[in-house]
Structure 1
Amino acid sequence: MIEKLEFLIALAQEQHFGRAAEACGVTQPTLSAGIKSLEDTLGVLLVQRGSRFKQFTPEGERVLLWARRIVGDSRAMRLDVAALRRGLSGHLKIAAIPTALAMVAEITTPYRQKHPNVRFTVISRTSIEILGLLENLEIDAGITYLDNEPLGRVSAVPFYEESYRLITSEEAPFGDQASVTWAEVGTVPLCLLTPDMQNRRIIDDLLATAGARAMPTLESNSVVVLFSHVRTGRWATVMPERLAESLGLTDRVRSIPIVEPQITHAIGLVVPDRDPMTPLTAALVAEVRKAAGSRAPR
């Protein structure tokens, strides 16, 4: 039964019978037969078929929700038992929004010191993609915004507060000021993340509230691209304070607080809403809480 449910999850991920079979390491006829057997067992049609995959039926969508829960619990059980036998080991997959990527090392570094047999994969994704990957069991955890857009059915652990800075050269407009307003930022040609990024949507909303609108002269889905342009001293961007510091400011570039309003947004860890958690995930949650506590006001 578990294998057939995994076939269903793979089909939801790939939207294609052949690619789903490849992802599961079986032939396409084996995958199709497995899903057909699941339909026979449950007595309902799960997938609308033609010459290729079309979509899930309403019953299929409901079974998919249960499949993710059952398969997730099955994997968690195996990891839990394995951890009791040989200690914490395995592969931890994390997706993070681009503006939080540089802070992931604050969690993975102490984690690995305690559990050297765990290896990591860290990928960059949008906030919406992170929730989809988490739901489909493709990642173990995500680092994303907690308080700006709906998260759905996950457990969330606060990590740090993201505040915003105008990153620009000292010779540029407003470059010699101690702070700038969002209205002033709206008059500056900016390098910004692409509109599919939640950080960009936040910036657009803050500028709109100040009666301005973004005027991007360059857009990218990579903060490295943005910062490499700003470091020339001839471009400007809006960037979270901690990200700018981690990338390294130069003598030519200033990080200026943006006020009126001075806004922060919560960044945190999101993991599947499951009790008990897998040992790998539980250890990750502990590291995030420890890192967050070390920055708490005293």
Structure 2
Amino acid sequence: MNTQLPTLRQLRFLVTLADEGNFSRAAEACHVTQPTLSAAIKELEATLGVTLVERGARGTTLTPAGEAAVARAWNTLAEAEDLVQAARAAGEPLSGPFRLGVIPTIAPFLLPRLLPVVSKAHSRLQLYLREDLTERLLDGLRARNLDAALIALPYDAPGIESVAVGADEFLFAAAPDHPLAKRDRITASDLNDEKLLMLEDGHCLRDHALAVCSAASSRSDFAATSLHTLAQMVKSGLGATLLPRLAVEGGVTDGLELVVRPFTPAVIGREIGMAWRKGSAREAEARLIAESLKGLV
């Protein structure tokens, strides 16, 4: 087979040019000179026998062939990166960079427990963390911008696999003068007519909390952006809420003088799980980190 093939360098230049829309910015992003990048694109066009980029005074535009080439180039580069990561993982698991996403309702409370354990067990691991909402973390997994993500389960997502690492129960939290705070025993049914404070839409914890409440009236007009804000709203007397035990044990209510009680019987709000892209070369390493988490949740 004597067919001349594009180089990974040429494909990376093409993808970057598509992202930047300008030869000068693309060259800067690739840390090369503009003539070097322009020559590489022309060489790629000659190799493929088609025009990929229309050059104009206001920038560049991809031709239909260019758009198709960029889509395939992106996949080829991602597969090449997977090859490198798989080879490194086979030689020495959990060494080098590992990009871990974490949802905001887990990150501040679980990472302080996890990081020392992982650092001690895998001293050559370079852990890069990204905190974001579940859907964006899953997009990052699919785009290969993340190697794994700590999310709340269940969460049905095409192309994503996961393993549970532990259960996190809901606790009732209210100001001391709240009627339910005066009871010795609180059940989930006590919330049916209660207007609870919730997180904003987009937080999976909000959906888990609503699933506990059977009545449509059991939510407030107020919504918080974080669990810390939610706890402060409860302190201000705006209403009661449900908090994950993980967050309470992590100090989210410290110093607020709130009444925090478990339900009878216990209400499991969510499972915490490690997720990765199906077929990822980092699956084995994601599972190793997940094993480190068991017992910490």
Matched, 1:285 2:287: yes
Are the aligned partners of 2:12 and 2:73 in contact in 1 as well (CA < 8 Å)? no
Letter in 1 for 2:288: A
Could you tell me which of 144, 151, 154 is aligned with 2:160?
A: 154
Q: SS where residue 84 of structure 2 aligns?
A: helix
Show the counterpart of 1:196: 202
> Partners of 1:169 and 1:48 in 2: how far apart?
64
Q: Give the 5 Å matches for 1:232-247.
A: 236-247=240-251
* Unpaired segments ≥5 residues, structure 1: none
Structure 2 CA distance for partners of 1:74 and 1:10, relative to 1, 3 Å: farther
Structure 2 CA distance for partners of 1:60 and 1:97, relative to 1, 3 Å: farther
Deviation per CA, 1:161-211: give whole Å up to 9, x if none: 233233212222311232243672653351x3221222223334554x433
Matched, 1:266 2:271: yes
Show the counterpart of 1:67: 76
Structure 2 CA distance for partners of 1:223 and 1:235, relative to 1, 3 Å: same
Are the aligned partners of 1:5 and 1:71 in contact in 2 as well (CA < 8 Å)? no
> Partners of 1:267 and 1:213 in 2: how far apart?
25
> Partners of 1:75 and 1:96 in 2: how far apart?
24
- The TM-score normalised by the length of structure 1 is 0.72
Show the counterpart of 2:228: 224
Please report how far the alpha carbon of residue 113 of structure 1 lies from its aligned counterpart in structure 2 after TM superposition. Answer: 0.4
Show the counterpart of 2:4: none
> Partners of 2:94 and 2:166 in 1: how far apart?
26
Are the aligned partners of 2:52 and 2:62 in contact in 1 as well (CA < 8 Å)? no
Could you tell me which of 89, 92, 96 is aligned with 2:98?
A: 92
- The TM-score normalised by the length of structure 2 is 0.72
RMSD: 4.1
Higher-Rg structure is 2
Letter in 2 for 1:199: L
Letter in 2 for 1:72: E
Are the aligned partners of 1:7 and 1:24 in contact in 2 as well (CA < 8 Å)? yes
Q: SS where residue 179 of structure 2 aligns?
A: coil
Letter in 1 for 2:123: P
Structure 2 CA distance for partners of 1:121 and 1:73, relative to 1, 3 Å: closer
Please report how far the alpha carbon of residue 139 of structure 1 lies from its aligned counterpart in structure 2 after TM superposition. Answer: 2.0
Q: SS where residue 121 of structure 1 aligns?
A: strand
* Unpaired segments ≥5 residues, structure 2: 1-6
> Partners of 2:54 and 2:221 in 1: how far apart?
44
